[in-house]
Structure 1
Amino acid sequence: MEDRQTDAPPLYDSVVNQNTSPPSYPSLQVLSATQIQSYYIPQPIPQMPAPCVVETISTQRRHVRTYRSKRCCFGGLGGSAFLVVLLIIAAWLGVRYGSSLWTLSGKDKETDICPPSSVNCDGKRDCSLGSDESRCVRFGTANELQVMTSKAGSFLPVCAQGWSKNIADQTCQQLGFRQSYAVDVLKSNSSVFQSMNNQFSNTIQGSVNISLSCPLQQTVSLRCCDCGRPPVSTRIIGGDMAAEGQWPWQASLHFRGHHTCGGTLVAPDFIITAAHCFSQEKSDYLLPSNWKVYIGMVSQLKLPSLYNVKKITIHENYDPDTKNNDIALLILNRPVSNVQPACLPVFGQTFSPGSKCWTTGFGVTREGDDSGSIILMQVAVGLIDLVVCNKPAVYNGLITENMQCAGDLIGGKDSCQGDSGGPLVCKADDRWYLTGVTSWGDGCGKINRPGIYSNVGRLLTWIHGKMQQERQ
């Protein structure tokens, strides 16, 4: 994040090495899909004091890979011997870690096997990983609980009659949370409902029946955790250093002892981050034991208690070339306590273009710097319409519906190297919602090159589904 721009910034996917010159920067006229690269490199970033306002984000792709390939290529007999060693190591890793490596990479060898007789949303787990029952519950406006069953075939509100705290807790636990936080009732305009049956099974979809009536049209509004309300004021004038407690859900992901990417706490056991933080070209990035997570701090010099990573789940359809579906879910080894997560948006919740949102991170504060900030930095960015972002003068059609543009077309406000995987949050009803995950961009804060974030609203089904599968 920064206010300044340089004429020849390095590529953000390149390895940070003060003794190595960065690769040349490509033309900024029109980008192609082969030029996209992540803002944030999946390599540890040295820390340095923050010199000023952070306002930036960036990326260019295939060029970085060329740079990497040149550094990783070995010729002659020495190269052959090195490749043999690599093959031996790879074989050992396959024996030692087996399918866990593939599960971590998102290219599941842990295949979800569904028998021909499997039925979605009937409350009975048929598939080996439970995918048939993992996408049957969602939240609508005002956190209205909506459930789809095999008989209904569509999401319907749940009638409040017969609802209890015990049922609320079990439903939230099913969704990956520890317990329920708040239950309320809403006046619904629906003519069809899901009503509680006589026995509550282990899933809410197996515990309801279709009904054409509901007393007083009152349906369930459910919150599974208190979220999006930091303990201190978040009224900020411009991009600058964050105050303690301002963005409590901010996570710092350390790879082998160094901050490498950001993340967002969305539930006591779960962190949302970017898929590109876990290089699938290097197996050590896919091992949970190599990662440590710190949550809620504002300085790399004052780290709180660490959390170990139990599992890394990467979106199965993540495309490293286009950065589509650039999202990953970390499961922690123990629940986070006394730290408020960011809210996940509800189904259909959107923020209009021009909305002022905030992005935070420990990335570099000036484009081209070799070191990240030791202080958590923050900057306000405006959401930009997808049509505008796909114009020829901007990103020329590279932005998919699973992406969100944010920043300023005149430049100056953006994320940058080291911010990858961190949050883009927007405020509604006095709560902050995770709207985007820092993903990629062309440079930091350049004209017509806003930051690109994974669109959390579009990826909600995947997020909720994975959280449910991991808590089953």
Structure 2
Amino acid sequence: MENTEGNIVNGENPPPYYLVVKPSDPPPSYANIDELWETPPVVPYYINEPLPPVFPPHVAQRIIITTEQYHPDQRRSSLVVIRHKKARCYGGSGVSAFIIILIGIALWLGVRYGITMMSRRNMDTCPSNTVICDGHVDCKQGSDETICVRFGAGNELQVMTSNSNGFLPICYDDWNQSLATQTCKQLGFRGCYQYGSLTSTSTSFLFVSQSSDTIQGKVNVSTSCPDKETVSLQCTNCGLSQSSSRIIGGDEADPGQWPWQVSLHFQGSHVCGGSVISQDFIVSAAHCFPSDPPAWQVPANWRVYLGVESQYMLPAPQYIADIIIHELYNPNTHDNDIALLKLTQPINFTGMVQPVCLPAYDQVVLADTECWTTGFGTTEEGEDHGSIQLMEVEVEIIDRSLCNTAYKGLISNDMLCAGDMNGGKDACQGDSGGPLVCQDDDGHWYLYGVTSWGIGCGRVNRPGVYTDVHSYVAWIHSKIEEYRP
């Protein structure tokens, strides 16, 4: 570790939790990897030049700072999501002036809902007569119609239309399986898992009353709804762990305990983690895909491994079709450190591979909530090699103001701190992009953080910093819809 504390005092930004390997040439293509016969190297922070040739390293023993034993009941958080009756369903897997106005709308939506109308590299192009959320795609990349749906507590389906002032729930009256499947497919999922109804407190509602290819084009506004019963929609069965047992200060995870955990390999080595959120998409960190050299942003240079317990026992890989980096990602401050990976083929869910749930737009995690973070990173600061086994550690959500005091104002409103202010429990190098998950009262796990950066690993008053997923749920949904299969 080189002058980490000195750098933060002098106002420089701290490094992220990731492997800073920058090969001079794009990596060659390689065959499918069934087994990894050496521990992937992990490079300390502030390495700003290519590494020398790497020879097979000695496999070091794991070093665990603490060996506390945890019990299942300690892992439950105080999150509450009210759920009501459900019915299962199954489906198949002056133009310049106007653009300035559209940008203004996008920025407003971005501040309020975390929405952006820009593509990965370029701003979307829209004609002057564009109407947002009217069911008709006007913009070249469809950004006028991918910001129109969100989910509230209890998976309440809420839609914004060209005739509504904001998002409104859909009345359950006349809702059916076909509508549920169509809506989930529109949103980028393979089909509907289940739908049902719940009692809403809204004073305005949407009714399905016309034909359209999108749910926002099918509905009209009404001030009445029988019994105020609105639609609850779940497009995938998420957040269920297959194990009931109970990184830095952590333990080896049980098989199936964290079935959404992903190991991302670049040039044959584990570099970052990720989380499965659907059959086609993985959430990870933007800093895992730097633009220099360009090889890091070439999908064909990556392999995705699902359901991994050991880096010595790798399954057949999945391949990446698109790397979708947040348009406003800042590698200096680590703001907007989030990325989506679209796979070339859908995932076949098993007991060992399952998606994690995304929080509702208004579902936040509170300070002092006990959550868990997982990954294949180093288990002690300064180690040269990551963990062979998937590691888990229970961490506490830390009040943002307290964390910002510790980090001298570097924590934005879109970051989340978790760990132990007394040190000993943390993510570390190689855990980047991996999940921070919290469990609600009915047993479902929600993705609240993406491992981003920190000062050292497990230090006193230096907790881990995560991208706050709650701030990016709308962005995630809009990109899944834009890149839907």
Q: Does TM, scored on the shorter chain, surpass 0.5?
A: yes
- Given candidates 234, 239, 243, the residue that maps to 1:223 is 234
- Distance (whole Å) between structure 1 residues aligned to residue 420 and residue 43 of structure 2: 13
SS at 1:206 equivalent:
helix
Q: 1:165 to 1:70 in 2, by over 3 A?
A: closer
Counterpart CA distance in 2 for 1:447 and 1:313 is 35
Q: For 2:215 and 2:237, how far apart are their aligned partners in 1?
A: 21
Query: What is the correspondence of 1:74-223 to structure 2 with a 5 Å cutoff?
Result: 108-199=120-211, 201-223=212-234
Query: How many angstroms does 1:108 deviate by?
Result: 4.3
Give the superposition deviation at 1:302.
1.1
Which residue matches 1:349?
363
Superposition map of 1:292-307 within 5 A: 292-307=303-318
- Give the count of matched residue pairs: 400
Structure 2 letter corresponding to 1:37: P
Q: Which residue of 1 aligns with 2:100?
A: none
Letter in structure 1 aligned against 2:205: F
**Equivalent residue for 1:363, pick from 367, 370, 377:** 377
Letter in 2 for 1:135: I
- Residue in 1 aligned with 2:56? none
CA contact (8 A) 2:357 2:445 kept: yes
Distance 1:234 1:317, change over 3 A: farther
Residue identity in the other structure for 2:218: S
Task: Please give the alpha-carbon distance, in whole angstroms, between the structure 2 residues aligned to 1:164 and 1:350.
Answer: 30
Tell whether 2:469 aligns with 1:456: yes
Indicate how the Cα distance of structure 1 residues 349 and 132 shifts in structure 2: closer, same or farther if over 3 A, else same.
Answer: same
Work out whether residues 7 and 14 of structure 2, in 8 Å CA contact, stay in contact via their aligned partners in 1: no
Paired residue for 1:275, among 272, 286, 294? 286
Note if contact 1:228-1:432 (Cα within 8 Å) is conserved in structure 2: yes
- 1:325 maps to 2:336: yes
CA contact (8 A) 2:157 2:231 kept: yes
> Which residue of structure 2 lines up, in the alignment, with residue 438 of structure 1?
451
Equivalent-residue separation in structure 1 for 2:269 and 2:4 (angstroms): 29
* Superposition TM-score, scaled by structure 2 size: 0.79
Looking at structure 1, the residues matched to 310 and 299 of structure 2 have their Cα atoms a distance apart, in angstroms, of 23
Superposed displacement of residue 35, structure 1: 3.1
Provide the residue aligned with 1:232 in structure 2: 243
Retained in 2: the 8 A contact 1:58–1:443?
no
1:441 and 1:43 map into 2 onto residues whose CA distance is: 18
Distance in 2 between residues matched to 1:224 and 1:209, nearest whole Å = 23
For structure 2, the residue ranges without an aligned partner over 5 or more in a row are 23-35, 53-117
What SS does the aligned partner of 2:395 have? strand
RMSD (Å) for aligned C-alpha atoms? 2.3
1:234 CA displacement: 4.4
TM (norm. structure 1) is: 0.81
Same amino acid, percent of matched pairs: 49
Q: Distance in 1 between matches of 2:290 and 2:479?
A: 20
Equivalent residue number for residue 68 of structure 2: none
Q: Structure 1: state its 5+ residue gaps.
A: 1-9, 11-23, 50-56, 73-105
Distance in 2 (alpha carbons) for counterparts of 1:198 and 1:465: 23
CA contact (8 A) 1:42 1:279 kept: no
Q: Does 1:423 align with 2:403?
A: no
Q: What residue identity is the alignment partner of 1:357?
A: C
Instruction: Pick closer, same or farther for the CA change 1:461–1:225 going to 2, 3 Å.
Output: same
What is the distance in 1 between the residues matched to 2:142 and 2:119? 17
Equivalent of 1:38 in 16, 19, 25: 16
Matched residue SS, 2:185? helix
**1:68 counterpart = 2:81:** no
Letter in 1 for 2:281: F
Post-superposition shift, 1:48?
A: 4.0
Runs of 4+ in 1 over 6 A off after TM superposition: 57-60
Query: Which letter maps to 1:289?
Result: A
Q: Is contact 2:421-2:462 (8 Å) kept?
A: yes
Letter in 2 for 1:34: E
Report the alpha carbon displacement of residue 198 of structure 1 after superposing the two structures with TM.
3.4
Are the counterparts in 1 of residues 21 and 50 from structure 2 also a CA contact under 8 Å? no
Asked if the contact 1:58/1:416 (under 8 Å) is kept, the reply is no
Separation in structure 2 between the aligned mates of residue 248 and residue 351 of structure 1, nearest angstrom: 21
Contact 2:120 2:326 in 1 (8 A): no
The C-alpha deviation readout for 1:358-395, integer Å capped at 9, x for no partner, is 0000001111111111100000000001111111xx10
Task: Measure, in 2, the Cα distance between the counterparts of 1:165 and 1:352.
Answer: 35
Distance 1:273 1:31 in 2: 29
**CA displacement at 1:69 relative to structure 2:** 5.8
The 3-state SS of whatever aligns with 1:169 is helix
Q: How does 1:373-412 map to 2 (within 5 A)?
A: 373-391=387-405, 394-412=406-424
Instruction: Give the corresponding residue for 2:261.
Output: 250
Distance 1:450 1:111 in 2: 36
The one-letter code sitting in structure 2 at the alignment partner of 1:426 is C
In the alignment, residue 230 of structure 2 is paired with which amino acid?
T
* Local SS of the residue matching 1:260: strand
Q: Could you say what secondary structure the match of 1:458 adopts?
A: helix
How far apart in 2 are the matches of 1:280 and 1:348? 33
